[in-house]
Amino acid sequence: MSYPDATPEPIAFGERLRILRTRRGMTRPVLAGLLGKSPSWLKQIERGDLHTPSLPMVLRMAEALRVRDLSDLTGDAARMPTALFIGPGHPRLPEVRAAVDAFPLPVDDRRAPDTAHLRASLAHAWAARHSAPNHREVIGTLLPGLIRDGQLAVRQAGTPAERRAAQAVLAEVYSLAQFFLAYQPDSALLWRVAERGMVAAQESGDPHALGMAAWLTAEAHRDSAQYDGADAVTMQALHWLEPQLPDAGEDVRAIAGALQVAAGYTASSRGDAGSAWGWWDKADRVARGLSAAYYHPVTSFSRAVMGAHAVTLAVELHAGNESVRQVRQADVRSIPSRPRRARHRIEEARAYQLDGKPEAALETVDKAHENAPETIQYNGYARRIILEETEAKAPDRRRRASELAVKVGVLAA
DSSP 239-255: HHHGGGGGG--HHHHHH
Burial state string for 300-323 with b = 16 or more CB within 10 A and e = fewer than 16? bbbbbbbbbbbbbbbbbbbbbebb
User: Among candidates 263, 260, 230, which has minimal Cα distance to 245?
Assistant: 260
* CA–CA dist 200, 251 (Å, integer): 18
Distance of alpha carbon 212 from its chain centroid, rounded? 14
* CA–CA dist 405, 411 (Å, integer): 5
Residue 2 above 60 pLDDT? no
Report which DSSP code applies to 333: G
Place 352 in a pLDDT band, splitting at 50, 70 and 90.
very high
| C-alpha distances in Å from residue 23, one per residue of 58, 65, 217 | 18, 9, 20
What are residue 319's phi and psi, to 5 degrees? -100, 95
Among 267-276, 296-305, 371-380, the range scoring the smallest mean pLDDT is 371-380
Place 222 in a pLDDT band, splitting at 50, 70 and 90.
confident
Query: Is residue 270 a contact partner of residue 244, using CB atoms and an 8 Å limit?
Result: no
Whether domain 13-74 has CATH 1.10.10.60: the reply is no
What are residue 69's phi and psi, to 5 degrees? -120, 115
* CA–CA dist 345, 359 (Å, integer): 14
What are residue 170's phi and psi, to 5 degrees? -60, -40
Place 198 in a pLDDT band, splitting at 50, 70 and 90.
very high
* CA–CA dist 23, 3 (Å, integer): 35
Residue 268 above 80 pLDDT? yes
Radius of gyration of the chain (CA): 22
Q: Identify the pLDDT of residue 68.
A: 66
> Tens of pLDDT along 116-162?
999 999 999 999 999 988 999 999 999 999 999 999 999 889 899 99
Give the pLDDT mean for 270-296: 95
Sign of CA dihedral 81, 82, 86, 91: negative
| C-alpha distances in Å from residue 285, one per residue of 10, 125, 260, 281, 282 | 53, 29, 11, 6, 5
Query: Is residue 245 a contact partner of residue 252, using CB atoms and an 8 Å limit?
Result: yes
Residue 48 above 90 pLDDT? no
Q: Identify the pLDDT of residue 280.
A: 97
Residue 123: what residue type? A
Where do the H-state alpha helices sit in 11-70? 13-23, 28-35, 39-47, 55-64
Q: Identify the pLDDT of residue 79.
A: 46
* CA–CA dist 275, 272 (Å, integer): 6
Query: Is residue 355 a contact partner of residue 324, using CB atoms and an 8 Å limit?
Result: yes
Sign of CA dihedral 307, 130, 151, 178: positive
Domain-by-domain residue ranges, the chain?
A: 13-74, 90-205
* CA–CA dist 89, 101 (Å, integer): 17
Sign of CA dihedral 63, 229, 164, 293: positive
User: Got the DSSP string for 55-105?
Assistant: HHHHHHHHHHTT-SBTHHHHS-TTTS--BSSS-PPPTTHHHHHHHHHS---
* CA–CA dist 222, 232 (Å, integer): 11
Residue 78 above 90 pLDDT? no
Residue 311: what residue type? V
Q: Report the chain's mean pLDDT, rounded to a whole number.
A: 87
- Percent of the chain exceeding pLDDT 70 equals 92
Report the interhelical angle of 380-389 vs 395-408 (nearest 10°): 140
